Amino acid sequence: MDKYKTAIHTCKVFCRALTLVLIIQPVQAVQSSELTFLNWSDYIDPLILDEFKQRTGITVKQIYFESDADRDEILVETEAKGFDMVLIDGISIRILANRGWLEPLNEQDIPNLKHIDPRWRNAHEEAKVYAVPYFWGTIGIAYRKDLVSSPVSSWMDLLQPAAQLHGKVAMFSDTRDLLGVGLKALGYSLNSTNTQELKEAEALLQTQAPAVTTYKYVSRDEHSALVAGQVAIAMMYNSYALMVQKHHSEIAFVLPEEGSNIWVDYISILSSSSNKAGAKQFLNFLNEPEIAAQLAEFVYSATPNLAAEALLPVEFKNNVAIYPSQAALQKSEINQRLPAQAQKLRAAIFSRLVN
């Protein structure tokens, strides 16, 4: 009888333990059914996040940064922990990969990578190994046609503004992009390491400085300084210009005749992610052609996804602010890795200009 009671007691203990496991398991699943994405604001369609949750049960929570430098500061402070995915510029891929912060990716885990144009997968060092291209575009000039009396076609229209525009000019607070504009305006490569060329670019930007009201990104919502008229002409990403254009019909965008910077944004999975499988599932979902096309229209940007591009409206693909002509692209460049000495010189120039 004692043996019988013992057997019953053991069975009860086992069954209770099994019940607890069955109860706890769904709770654990709920806790892990979340991805944290370090991203620019307004850079993904919320409806797409809703659809991903409906399909998979995974919620994507976003944490926003205001600049590449701001993002890097967040990653350094947290040692890249607490996030699953990060929106990253091409130049930073190699740097973060060397720190051991990025997870290698491949087509076995993300089969929809087959739709990505190889040009963008290989545009930056280590990009093919650690990152998935998200969008590409250019930096140009956004301006209010009703506030700028002369035609805008050159970087010099921004760097040597008319007297009435003084105090109404906005520039980027980014070392590479700010110096790049000065270099392109003078006919030099934005990747120049020539000390004399960099000094000339600095002199040009110093001449412009009294006219500049801010070295911060101009917002692209209805509260934008461009909409209010506090800024009349600004250095701006093409996609941001098209976003803010919705809020004021007099806002225009031009890719300057000297050419510009071709930017490429990527999404990487962090090696510290606690849900790498879910993150890879999300990146594969974003590159379903229909989803990628919907994303492109939401953020007014050129998609690197060739299958998605084929689904976009003709008027979207014919918009030269989104898809510049080949001639314009041939004059433009992608930021390349610079020697340490050139980076140090640029940082010193930037500090003198902005601080």
Query: pLDDT digit string (tens) for 111-123?
Result: 999 999 999 999 9
Q: What is the pLDDT, as a whole number, of residue 332?
A: 97
Query: pLDDT digit string (tens) for 170-187?
Result: 999 889 999 999 999 999
Query: pLDDT digit string (tens) for 177-219?
Result: 999 999 999 999 999 999 999 999 999 999 999 999 999 999 8
**Per-domain residue ranges for the chain?**
29-136+264-322, 137-262+332-354
pTM, two decimals, is 0.88
Of the given ranges (10-19, 45-54, 139-148, 309-318), which has the lowest mean pLDDT?
10-19
Tokens 């599932």 map to which residue? 281
Whether domain 137-262+332-354 has CATH 3.40.190.10: the reply is yes
Q: Match domain 29-136+264-322 to its CATH number in 3.40.50.720, 3.30.70.20, 3.40.190.10, 3.20.20.70.
A: 3.40.190.10
Query: pLDDT digit string (tens) for 324-352?
Result: 999 999 999 999 999 999 999 999 999 99
Residues 58, 52: contact at Cβ < 8 Å? yes
Say whether 137-262+332-354 and 29-136+264-322 share the same fold.
yes
Q: What is the pLDDT, as a whole number, of residue 32?
A: 58
Q: What is the pLDDT, as a whole number, of residue 173?
A: 86
Radius of gyration of the chain (CA): 24
Q: Is the pLDDT of residue 300 over 60?
A: yes
Residues 271, 101: contact at Cβ < 8 Å? yes
Q: Over the chain, what is the mean pLDDT?
A: 91
List helix spans (H) across the chain.
Answer: 2-32, 46-56, 68-78, 90-98, 118-121, 127-130, 156-159, 175-185, 195-208, 225-228, 238-245, 276-286, 289-299, 306-309, 314-317, 326-330, 340-354
Q: pLDDT class for 5, splitting at 50, 70, 90?
A: very low
Interatomic CA distance for residues 58 and 50, integer angstroms = 9
